[in-house]
Amino acid sequence: MEAFICSTCGVQYEPAERPAAKCLVCTEERQYVLPTGQNWTTLPSMQIRYNNAWRELEQNLFSITTVPQFAIGQRALLVRTPHGNILWDCISLIDRATIALIEGLGGLKGIAISHPHYYSTMVEWSRAFGGIPVYLHGLDRKWILRDDPCIDRWEGQTKEILPGVTLVCVSGHFPGGAVLHWSGGSSGKGSLLSGDVVQVVKDGKSVSFMWSYPNLIPLSGPRVEAIIDVLKPFGFECVHGAFENCSIFSKGKEFVERSADRYLKMIRGDGTYEMQ
């Protein structure tokens, strides 16, 4: 039996004789089904048609993206620490070249994922590195469409998964929406790996917040306020978002807070606000 992958969102399902009639992720209002209908693929098929590209974002931090773009097109981030390596967020394609490169960089101690849209082939990734834990917040447990003993349904607001590597549940996009704070990033000033829970935008100096990105449904003011409140204790210079070329390389915390201020004033009707 094949473990089918939705071609629109990239999430893999439990092995079955045939794919599901519909993808539960894509039929929910935060995502979408294409006008051409539901389509599925498999990991062996992807390994023939796609490959993964690498880029160094800062010392000991690498992005991994699939080319040509598949599904949502997010990147995974490999964080290297003296205590082991963590993969932040996940992409659907895993192949022998990717495994070999990661092993050459010290392997993986665990995988942490920001929210259900990026669960992708998380079980395949875990098994490729010996059944390492996959950290998903327990508030989003209903979106686990391929279960496995490797999955750690963590609870609460923070979880340190390695020294200096802390998951922070800020909610927002999903109830269990999380970011990763890496205290060793940015030469010790700290880096925030934000997925699209805190979405880095194209100018490289601001972020935004949405409940649904493809359907352009904004996040409510109180939820944005809650995100900023939860992040207050954490210092960070860089912010690395979900997509290629979406990073802030300096003044990260300042820009996140200023962007939130802009967002809140606009969503509350102060159309005269201009970000300085």
Closest CA to 179 of 46, 99, 79: 79
Reading across the β-sheet that carries 84-88, which strands appear in turn?
51-58, 61-67, 76-81, 84-88, 110-112, 134-137, 151-154
Has residue 22 been placed in a domain? yes
Whether 202 maps to a domain, the answer reads yes
45 vs 37: CA distance, rounded Å:
19
Residue 275 counted as domain residue:
no
Q: Tell me the longest C-alpha to C-alpha distance in the chain.
A: 58
Give this prediction's pTM: 0.95
Cα 51 from Cα 60, distance rounded (Å): 22
CA angle 145/47/113 to nearest 5° reads 40
**Which structural domain range is residue 198 located in?**
5-267
Q: Are 59 and 42 in contact (CB under 8 A)?
A: no
Question: Alpha-carbon distance 211 to 189, whole Å?
Answer: 30
In a domain, 242, yes or no: yes
HEC profile of 139-176: HHHHHCCCCCCCEEEECCCEEEEECCEEEEECCCCCCC
Question: Structurally, how many domains does the chain consist of?
Answer: 1
* Residue 272 is assigned to a structural domain of this protein: no
Q: Which amino acid is at 214?
A: P
Write out the DSSP string of 121-132: THHHHHHHTTS-
8 Å CB contact between 239 and 255: yes
Residue 76 sits in a domain whose CATH number is 3.60.15.10
pLDDT per residue, tens digit, the chain (276 aa), is: 999 999 999 999 999 999 999 999 999 999 999 999 999 999 999 999 999 999 999 999 999 999 999 999 999 999 999 999 999 999 999 999 999 999 999 999 999 999 999 999 999 999 999 999 999 999 999 999 999 999 999 999 999 999 999 999 999 999 999 999 999 999 999 999 999 999 999 999 999 999 999 999 999 999 999 999 999 999 999 999 999 999 999 999 999 999 999 999 999 887 665 655
Of 54, 28, 18, the closest CA to residue 174 belongs to 28
In a domain, 15, yes or no: yes
Determine, yes or no, domain membership for 273.
no
pLDDT at 273: 54
